[in-house]
Amino acid sequence: MIVLTSKAVEEVKKFMAAESIGAEGGLRVRVMPGGCSGFQYGLDVEDAPREDDEIITRDENGGIRLFVDPFSGQYLEGVEIDYVSSVMGSGFTFKNPSATGSCGCGTSFTV
């Protein structure tokens, strides 16, 4: 289960509105090989899910549909996605209970 914080929901809804994403659209959450720790996260707003996607809908995620491909799904169980703003910048952060390590950028991890 992937959880979006209220701040993340607010920001994703802004991106979806800016891209004119309709009711069939959602947020793609993915894991890709790469980054300084082995894997990195990716987020994209998309018009519709792909054929093999798991579609996650939870009231707690503000009604945002999450699209997760089979490869990424194995690394995303229990992940919390937040949006933070600070003097150093703003962006999405990931808390992954399965990660055994990460790097300073906050978007790369090891399992």
Residue extents of the structural domains in the chain: 3-110
Q: What is the pLDDT of residue 67?
A: 98
Give per-residue pLDDT as tens, 60-71. 899 999 999 999
Q: Contact at 8 Å (CB) between 47 and 22?
A: yes
Q: Which residues of the chain have pLDDT under 70?
A: 35-37, 100-111
Amino acid identity, position 77: E
Q: What is the pLDDT of residue 102?
A: 62
Q: How far apart (Å, rounded) are the C-alpha atoms in residues 99 and 39? A: 10
Fold for domain 3-110? Hypothetical Protein Aq_1857; Chain: A; (2.60.300)
- Locate the DSSP E strands across 7-88: 26-33, 39-46, 54-56, 66-68, 80-86
Q: What is the pLDDT of residue 5?
A: 96
Q: What is the pTM of this model?
A: 0.86
- Cα–Cα nearest to 54, from 34, 75, 32, 33: 75
Q: What is the pLDDT of residue 29?
A: 97
Give per-residue pLDDT as tens, 41-52. 899 999 999 999
